[in-house]
Structure 1
Amino acid sequence: MPEDLSGTAAEAGIAVVRTAGTDLWDSFRRQVAAWIGRGDGPSERSELLRLTDTASALREAGGAGSAAVAARHALDWQRRFADLLQRLDDAERETAAARLRQLVREHSAGDGPAAPEFNLVSGENVRIQADHGSVAAGTVNGDVRIGFPHSPDSPQG
């Protein structure tokens, strides 16, 4: 998936977590369910339940474990948005991604209390790059596992 669409999915996943429990939640939750359901009533109702479960889990987590729960739910929603975008053809994908960005911008809490300590959650590669005299930085909270490629077999022949 192109970086801009991955970024859109990540931003939307974080928006779900940050908006849960705020005054904007009910409207945002309905908008997200409608975006995912794409006009299918049963799908929208299923997504409303899933979103409600996320908000409940975040509310119940509280304390020291809340950051881990928030990160897990943000990543789950990121994957869900990415999967849905990936299933669309190119024209539909661009339209749906633009609508999702607009939904996040207009209906979500930009900096809610649920997870202020992270800006990006990824289960895949992340590249941070600085250019044109700028500075780039990243922080890793948690485990990092680096695997090294296997050594090639000795040449035959």
Structure 2
Amino acid sequence: MLSKLEQTRAVYAGKHHAIDAFLDARQALLVEYIQLAGFTPQRGKQRSLPCCESIQHFCNNLVDYISASHFEIYDHVMGAYESAKGEQLALAETIYPKLRACTDVVLRFNDKYGNAGEDDLLTLDDDLNRLGPVLETRFCLEDQLVKALHIVERLSDKTTKQN
């Protein structure tokens, strides 16, 4: 997921302040997810469950990321799409229901672990393993929207220059 993020950043970095901030937030979230899920090896140490505060912090960042995507990025994207025709608008109409489905999974994870106690952590690994692919799917969908936004804005710039 981090390598895909770097590819997206290489293509779109510096083109939109909001997208840059969004990609920075995604990277921070991914790093935290990787640490929480225990994907970073610790020499000679057996993996132990993270503390409740770490999980709650991750849940807060996860909800902040989802909220920012809905209220900052998607509003901007939809504004551009309203003036678009054809493929880009159809893409948005196809992607948004899938994003909502991902959001539902994320919110269920947050509901379960946002105020988790020690006893709630017994199923954390399984839930993190289910959350990872959902996040990956969401990031791919968001990247499609960013790409389409870039195309729409380029077309809009060309139209403005021609008039």
TM-score w.r.t. length of structure 1: 0.34
Which structure has more helix as a fraction of its residues?
A: 2
TM-score w.r.t. length of structure 2: 0.33
Using CA pairs below 8 Å that are at least 6 residues apart, which structure has the higher relative contact order?
A: 1
